[in-house]
């Protein structure tokens, strides 16, 4: 699955046919992996409205966001949170059925029945915990990254994931209203508006963190996938409250048909930043490409950022992966493989071992923030010997 078509696939498939009837024949169960950390996890949904900002996509309305806050819980047990709310589940059913994407027959899975590992509205554990913000890919719902969010919370973090309304393909609000994406991934002006809006969204959320009594706002990190990785870098340029950042397989620019690097590339950062890349295939030649700072063919922004970055930096690679390997599809697709067209799994999530991939992503993400927010060095980033068999540190 080519990273350059990610936003287009999501927007087209999730918004064009969401009103189609779905046969009530779901029988395939899907489960989420158990948590790897020592803490049980609680979660809550937050509807946040910025009274001082008009929505850039719908100017007659105030900017509103949906957030998921996950955190170490005081005790285990209780009703587990749904992976997708009903409106987003209906949209995802159509996305998954798209021949461009999975080709999973509609009705194969009742996505509203899939449960995260986090418990709804559980009491938080005592203490104040470092915070990590999470931003999804262009048009991507925040729900697609539940495993990363919940597992990081199980390792002692408050994790706040954001949906960027009217760019995210579908955002459901507490009154049941679903707002669909309006941003065009192929339009340069929309791409620029999207990154500016995302940075403003993130800074608004940073202002709201004081409302969480269990959040240690002196220790804040941020991570994001695809355009969310770009959002992380651009936010760090203008807001020093974010102490460390991770870009998961995202170009650091907003150009459409031209190279327009962001400020994080042209100016660099003086704080820690991790690049975590996957593989891709050239849509014209079929040549395999590596997303790294040493291969400019796929994305020159990583190489240019590497030259300007003044703070701690590492380039970590997940072999035999794809862009979607860094989403919850990494563990979902293998569970529904029997219902997919031949080759769909490999096209969407690559040939990396799914279980090892999830473990590596969890470990390196937590290890990065352990090092830079907690001062705990687990020696995951030292030397050239990988701690997981599918990963490489690229010098």
Whole-angstrom CA distances from 200 to 131, 185, 247, 261 are 18, 19, 18, 19
pLDDT digits 0-9 by tens, 25-45: 567 899 999 999 999 999 999
Cα angle: 314, vertex 318, 320; to 5 degrees: 155
Both tokens of 90, joined, read 């209906």
Q: Do residues 272 and 236 lie in contact, with contact meaning Cβ atoms separated by under 8 Å?
A: no
**What is the percent of the chain where pLDDT is above 70?**
92
Mean pLDDT across the stretch 43-64?
A: 97
pLDDT band at 382 (very low <50, low <70, confident <90, very high): confident
Residue 118: pLDDT band (50, 70, 90) is very high
| CATH 3.40.50.1820 corresponds to the domain 3-393 | yes
pLDDT per residue as tens digits for the range 274-317: 999 999 887 777 788 999 999 898 999 999 999 999 999 999 99
Domains of the chain by residue range: 3-393
Place of tokens 């269990």: 214
Question: For 334-372, what is each residue's pLDDT tens digit?
Answer: 999 999 999 999 999 999 999 999 999 999 999 999 999
- The two beta strands, 178-180 and 170-172, are antiparallel
The pLDDT confidence band at residue 6, using thresholds 50, 70 and 90, is: low
Q: Is the pLDDT of residue 249 over 70?
A: yes
Token pair of 301 as six digits: 């922004």
Per-residue pLDDT band for 14 (boundaries 50, 70, 90) equals low
Q: Which two tokens stand for residue 334?
A: 């293998």
- H helix intervals, 98-250: 146-154, 188-208, 227-238
Is residue 1 predicted with pLDDT exceeding 50?
no
Mean pLDDT score of the chain = 93
């Amino acid at each position: 699955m080519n990273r350059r078509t990610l936003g287009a696939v999501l927007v087209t498939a999730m918004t064009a046919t969401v009103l189609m009837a779905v046969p009530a024949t779901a029988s395939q169960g899907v489960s989420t992996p158990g948590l790897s950390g020592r803490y049980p996890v609680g979660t809550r949904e937050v509807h946040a409205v910025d009274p001082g900002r008009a929505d850039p996509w719908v100017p007659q309305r105030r900017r509103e966001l949906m957030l998921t806050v996950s955190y170490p819980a005081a005790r285990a047990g209780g009703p587990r949170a749904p992976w997708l709310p009903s409106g987003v589940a209906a949209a995802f059913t159509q996305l998954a059925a798209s021949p461009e994407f999975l080709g999973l027959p509609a009705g194969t899975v009742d996505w509203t029945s899939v449960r995260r590992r986090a418990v709804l509205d559980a009491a938080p554990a005592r203490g104040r915990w470092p915070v990590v913000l999470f931003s999804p890919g262009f048009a991507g719902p925040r729900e697609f990254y539940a495993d990363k969010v919940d597992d990081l919370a199980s390792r002692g973090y408050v994790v706040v994931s954001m949906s960027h309304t009217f760019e995210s393909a579908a955002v459901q609000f507490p009154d049941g209203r679903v707002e669909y994406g309006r941003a065009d991934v192929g339009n340069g002006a929309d791409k620029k508006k999207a990154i500016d809006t995302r940075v403003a969204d993130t800074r608004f959320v940073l202002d709201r963190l004081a409302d969480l009594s269990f959040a240690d706002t002196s220790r804040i990190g941020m991570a994001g996938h695809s355009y969310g990785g770009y959002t992380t870098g651009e936010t760090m340029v203008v807001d020093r409250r974010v102490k460390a950042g991770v870009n998961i397989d995202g170009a650091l620019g907003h150009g459409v048909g031209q190279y327009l690097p962001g400020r994080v590339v042209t100016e660099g950062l003086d704080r820690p930043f991790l690049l975590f890349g996957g593989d891709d295939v050239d849509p014209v030649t079929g040549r395999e490409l590596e997303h790294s700072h040493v291969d400019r063919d796929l994305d020159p922004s990583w190489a240019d950022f590497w030259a300007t970055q003044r703070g701690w930096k590492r380039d970590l690679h997940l072999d035999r992966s794809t862009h979607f390997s860094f989403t919850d599809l990494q563990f979902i697709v293998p569970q529904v493989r029997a219902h997919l067209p031949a080759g769909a799994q490999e096209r969407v999530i690559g040939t990396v071992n799914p279980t090892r991939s999830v473990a590596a992503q969890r470990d390196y993400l937590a290890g990065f923030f352990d090092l830079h927010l907690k001062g705990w060095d687990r020696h995951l980033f030292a030397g050239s010997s990988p701690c997981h068999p599918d990963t490489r540190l690229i010098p």
